[in-house]
Amino acid sequence: MHLLEERIRKDGVVKAGNVLKVDSFLNHQMDIALFNEMGKEWKRLFEGIKVNKILTIEASGIGIAAIAAQYFDAPVVFAKKTMTINLDGELYTTQVESFTHQRVYNVVISKRFLTPNDHVLIIDDFLANGNAINGLMEMIKQAGATLAGVGIAIEKGFQNGGRALREKGIKLESLAVIKSMDDVKGTIEFM
């Protein structure tokens, strides 16, 4: 998506450790006009595929998913990161290793909000190694729900998450795919 690539070029900052900072428009301050264009683009890319629920993970995915959900006329559920797991049988649970925080989170979703009737589109800000998406897919499986596809704002194509999902035959639509980036030169190349 040209608009997103241009914005990343203009305002994205490459940090050491393969981290791209986009906090001026995506995951701290949020550009809602841009989010609307992203939502429209996912709607176009997933046209004809049944979606009755959008799933994301706190915190950065929530804003993007909420704006996109308006184009799908579907509610948004976000997986919560918790310090403890409440094992009372009312929750789907899994563990996700965070790329940016380098720690493992227990992640939970109430069983009330993910059921076998759901056709779920996962939306998130970044795809790196795929841990966050794998965790969400694991809980969709626990629920007996159907995965409709995965919509990502920024895929770092030089990490393994995207390839692994495509090899599984999952419909993955990333709006910007980064081929390489260099924190010393500050350059970003797209696929």
Q: Quick one: which segment of 15-23, 62-70, 87-95, 166-174 binds ligand 5GP (CB under 6 A)?
A: 15-23
Amino acid residing at 6: E
The residue from 4, 53, 124, 175 that contacts ligand 5GP (CB under 6 A) is: 124
Torsion of CA 142, 39, 164, 180, to 10 degrees: -150
Q: Is 105 in the site for ligand 5GP (CB under 6 A)?
A: no
Q: Is 13 in the site for ligand 5GP (CB under 6 A)?
A: no
Q: Is 188 in the site for ligand 5GP (CB under 6 A)?
A: no
Residue 164, H or E segment = helix 161-167
Residue 160 to residue 148: CA distance in whole angstroms: 21
Nearer to ligand 5GP, 100 or 110 (CB): 100
Nearer to ligand 5GP, 118 or 124 (CB): 124
The counts of H helices and E strands in the chain are: 5, 10
Residue 191 to residue 23: CA distance in whole angstroms: 22
Q: Quick one: which segment of 67-75, 107-115, 128-136, 169-177 binds ligand 5GP (CB under 6 A)?
A: 128-136
Q: Which one-letter DSSP state was computed for residue 191?
A: -
Contact residues toward ligand 5GP (CB under 6 A) are 19-22, 27, 60, 99-100, 124-132, 161
